[in-house]
Amino acid sequence: MCVLAALVLVVSTVSPPAQGANPSNGRVSPTSPSATWAGAFFAVMSTAVPEACPPATDPLNEQCDHFFLTVDVPADFWTLHSGGVSILITWASADNDFDLYVYNADGTQVGSSAAGGTTSEQASVGFPAPGTYEVRVVAFLVVASDYQGSAALSFTAGPPVPNPTRSTGGIAFGPSTVADAQRTEGEPLLHVDRSGNIWES
């Protein structure tokens, strides 16, 4: 890993830009629930955080790869169904490290997966609103690798199960009961009398 990091530092300044996801966008819907793409190839790249490469400042996919996924469902779809979208990226060697982030149309991060020492990352977005989402794949520490991406819409009929409700907002207590104090004590026994003296037995 040290050799890999050193190679990134030496070569990253002269690496050609990645070509970008192919295709650059896709769509999932109830009738066509999956989409796939071939991710960008990175010769050498180390990008620490996803904030370093939003599409507006990384149009050539030099630091990250960007895939735009449209979730094509009716506006009331999730009132009649339960489910979401799962996004998966895979690559060949655990020596490389890609991270996965998902943003909605407002630019809010709605999913992420950033483990290390793996050959895949997966993020899920539950009950996604219809619209276009950015799948941002960060080349955290990568040498000579691309990745494969896929997205799948899964759902079942029926609205989401509501959270359980409670019948009361308090805790019920029973009446006071006289008990044998000796049975509730253990050794050693400490006692403080009304004068402040501490007794131990």
> 119-159 pLDDT, tens per residue?
999 999 999 999 999 999 999 999 999 999 999 999 999 87
Amino acid at 48: A
% of the chain residues with pLDDT over 90: 69
Residue 165: which pLDDT band, with cuts at 50, 70 and 90? confident
Model confidence band, residue 9 (pLDDT cutoffs 50, 70, 90): very low
Secondary structure of residue 172 in the 3-state scheme: coil
Helix-, strand-, coil-residue percentages of the chain, each rounded to 5 = 10, 40, 45
Buried b (16+ CB within 10 A) or exposed e, 110-139: bbebeeeeebebebbbeebeeeebbbbbbb
Q: Is 174 exposed, middle or buried (0-12, 13-18, 19+ CB in 10 A)?
A: exposed
Residue-range domains of the chain with CATH: 2-14+22-157 (2.60.120.380)
Which has the minimum average pLDDT: 23-32, 71-80, 89-98, 163-172?
163-172
What's the whole-number average pLDDT of the chain?
A: 86
d(CA 98, CA 118): 9
Q: Comparing 92 with 199, which gets the higher pLDDT?
A: 92
Please state which of the ranges 40-44, 61-65, 66-70, 169-173 shows the lowest mean pLDDT.
169-173
- Predicted pLDDT at 4: 46
Using one digit for the tens of pLDDT, what is the confidence trace for 61-87?
999 999 999 999 999 999 999 999 999
Q: For residue 20, which of 151, 118, 104, 139 has the smallest C-alpha distance?
A: 139
pLDDT band, very low/low/confident/very high, at 183 (cuts 50, 70, 90) = low
- Residue 13 or residue 173, greater confidence: 173
Residue 11: the pLDDT is: 41
Residue type at 124 in one-letter notation? S
